[in-house]
Amino acid sequence: MECTEDPVARAAKEIFGLDYLYPYQRLVAANVLDACSAGAEPLRQVVLLPTGFGKSLCFQLPAILLPRPTVVAYPLLALMEDQRRRLETLGIACALFRGGQSGEERRAAEASVEHGKAKIIISNPECLRTARLLDFLKEARPIHLAIDEAHCVSEWGESFRPAYLDLGRIIEALDPPALSAFTATASPTVFEAVARILFAGSAYRVIEGDPDRPNIAYAVVRTLSREHSLVRLARELPRPLVIFCSSRESAQMLARLLRERLDEGEIRFYHAGLERHEKKSIEEWFFASERGILVSTCAYGMGVDKKNIRSVVHFEAPTSVEAYLQEAGRAGRDALPSRAVLIAGPGEEGRLEREADSLRRSRFRALLDYALSVEGCRRDRLLDLLGTAREGRAPCSGCDRCEGAGREGREGEAEIEGFARSNARRFSAEEAVSLLLGRPGRDGSGEPPRCAFWGAMSGWDPKDALRAMAEALRTGLVRELDGRIWKGTIAGRKRGSRARVEELPSSAHSVGNG
C-alpha cells in the first residue's frame, strides 16, 4: 500500500527512513492505536520478538501519532541511555527519568512532558514507583505503557529486582489504555508472571512471528441482514465458535438472539464490563466446551488460550486489517483446519463516513475494501494489506474465492430484486416480504398467489426479511413508486443503476481490489 494511504507507513518512511514494516510491527502498533481511540476496550498484549527484530519501533511509531505520551520501562540504565540517543538522533524528543539525576535535569525532563514536547518517557521500575514521579505521570496521563524485557518480571522480580513486583501497582495507578509487554522468552513461567503481575489476571493478546495462518480458511459473507447471516453461520460452521462484535450491548443482544433462534443454551457473552468472577466462570466454561458459542467484544484475548476454536465470525468489520487478523487468529491454535468469516452488511459505509479521525478512517477503509472487493484470493489480499512480501508466499491454503464457494451478491439480494423485477407495480414492500416468506396472498384464500418468487425466502425469520427489504430500499436495489396509479408499490431498480451499498467515498477504492 502506498505510504500516502497509510499514516503508519508514512510515519515510518518520513521519520525513521523505513520503506518497509514487518507485519508484526504493524500488528503491535495497530493494537496500540486502536486501544487509544475513544470508547475502545483497554489493550493488554505480550509481544514475542527476538533481540534485533525491531521491537522499539512497535512503540515508537504509535507514540509519534498519539496525543499523549508513551512511557517505556527498561531494566537497565544502558538500555535507557541507548534509547534516548537513538530517539534524539531521529529528532524525536523524549524525557528520561533515572536515579542520580540532578534537580535541574529532572525539572528539564518534567518540563518537556508538561509542554507536550516529549512523546516518549523513559524510565525503570525503581524510579517509576517513587511517589514524585508516579504522581507526575498521573497528571501527564500516559496513553501507552510499554514494558521492555518483560521476562525480568519472572526472572528478577522475586528477589534481585523487587521493584518489578511493583509494576502491577504502577500500572493500576497510571491506568493506560494500552499496555504492552515485550519479551524474547515464551516459557510458561514467564507468561504466568506477566499475566499475574502486569495484567492482574486479565486476558491478553500475544503477537508473534508470521501472521499467515495456513490452517485458517477466510471468507466474506455480504448480506442485506446481518442477523440472518449470523444465525445461518452459527448453524453451519464447526464449533466451538467465537463471534466478535463491536459493543457490550451487541454481545448481550446477539447471544440472546442466538439462544432464541437456535434453541440452545450453550451460548454465552463476554465483555470487559463483566465482574472478574463472571469472566472467570465464562472462560472456564468455554475452555472446556466442545460445542459452545461465545459472543464477545475484543475483550476475549489470547490469555484465554483455547486451542480448538474451530470458527470465528465477525458480526461487523473491526477497525483495521490488523485487528481482523488477530481476532480471526483465535481460531485453530491447534493447527487444525478452521474457518474465519467476516459479515459485510448494512451500515459499513456510514461507519466510514462518521469516522472523524483520519488515521482510523484510512485503516478501516482498507479492510472495507477487502470485504467489498469482488476478485482475488482473500488470503493474498489480507497479507498484501498487512505489507507482507509476495516473494516466497505459499499458495492459498483456503478461502472462499479459491475454493469457488464465494457467493455472488448479498444474501437476500437475488430473491428481493427478482421479486421486485418480476412483480413490478403489484405489491407494497410489506406485501412483498409476506409473499417472499411464503405466506398467503391478499385474497385470504390460503392458496399460493400467482406471482414469481413466492416463498423464495421461506427459511428466513420475518424480522430479518423486513430488515433486508428496508436495506434493499435504502440502497436502491428496489424502489418504491410514486404517482397516482402505482403509489406505494415496488419495482426493480432503474436500468443501469447500482445499489449504493458498495458506493464508498471515492478514496475507499484507492487501495485496489486485490
Q: How far apart are CA 45 and CA 259, in angstroms?
A: 32
- What type of residue sits at position 106? R
- Nearest to 236, CA basis, from 221, 216, 252, 246: 221
- Nearest to 66, CA basis, from 22, 35, 42, 21: 35
- What type of residue sits at position 11? A
* Matching CATH number, 3-208, of 3.40.225.10, 3.40.1550.10, 2.40.50.220, 3.40.50.300: 3.40.50.300
Q: May I ask the CATH class of domain 216-409? A: alpha beta
Q: Give kind and range of the element (H or E) at residue 338.
A: strand 338-344
Q: The C-alpha cell of 339 is what?
A: 474457518
- What is the pTM for the complete model shown? 0.68
Where exactly does CATH 1.10.10.10 map onto the chain? 413-500
* Matching CATH number, 413-500, of 1.10.10.10, 3.40.605.10, 3.40.50.1370, 1.10.357.10: 1.10.10.10
Residues sharing a CB contact under 8 Å with residue 183, sequence separation 6 or more, in sequence order: 46, 47, 48, 149, 150, 151, 190, 194
pLDDT reported for residue 188? 66
| Alpha-carbon distances of 491 from 223, 419, 428, 494, 499, rounded to whole Å | 20, 8, 9, 9, 14
Q: Is 96 helix (H, G, I), strand (E, B) or coil?
A: strand
pLDDT reported for residue 335? 84
SS3 content of the chain, % helix, strand, coil (to 5): 45, 15, 45
pLDDT reported for residue 194? 84
Note whether 465 and 457 are within 8 A (CB).
yes
Q: The C-alpha cell of 116 is what?
A: 507536550
C-alpha neighbours within 13 Å on the C-beta side of residue 360: 20
**Backbone dihedral angles phi then psi of residue 70, each to the nearest 5 degrees:** -105, 135
**Backbone dihedral angles phi then psi of residue 342, each to the nearest 5 degrees:** -105, 125
Q: What is the DSSP string of 374-433?
A: -SS-HHHHHHHHHT--STTPPPPS-BTTTTT-PPSS-BTHHHHHHHHHHTTTT-BHHHHH
* Beta strands, E only, 184-317: 205-208, 216-222, 241-244, 267-270, 293-296, 311-314
For residue 240, whether the previous peptide bond is cis, meaning omega lies within 30 degrees of 0, is yes
User: In tens digits, what is the pLDDT along the chain, a chain of 514 residues?
Assistant: 343 457 888 889 999 988 888 888 888 999 999 998 877 889 999 998 765 678 889 999 999 999 999 999 998 777 788 888 889 989 999 999 998 899 999 999 999 999 999 999 999 999 999 999 999 999 999 999 999 888 777 655 554 567 878 899 999 999 999 999 998 666 666 778 888 889 988 888 888 766 678 899 999 999 999 999 999 999 999 999 999 998 999 999 999 999 999 999 899 999 878 887 898 889 889 989 999 999 998 877 644 568 899 999 999 998 888 778 878 888 998 889 999 999 999 988 888 888 887 777 887 888 898 998 878 899 999 888 877 767 777 888 899 989 887 677 899 999 999 999 999 999 999 999 999 999 876 655 556 677 899 999 999 999 999 999 999 999 999 999 987 788 889 998 876 555 544 433 333 322 222 2
Q: The C-alpha cell of 389 is what?
A: 512480501
Note whether 45 and 206 are within 8 A (CB).
yes
- What type of residue sits at position 368? L
* Beta strands, E only, 8-67: 43-48
Where exactly does CATH 3.40.50.300 map onto the chain? 3-208, 216-409
CA-based R_g, the chain, Å: 26
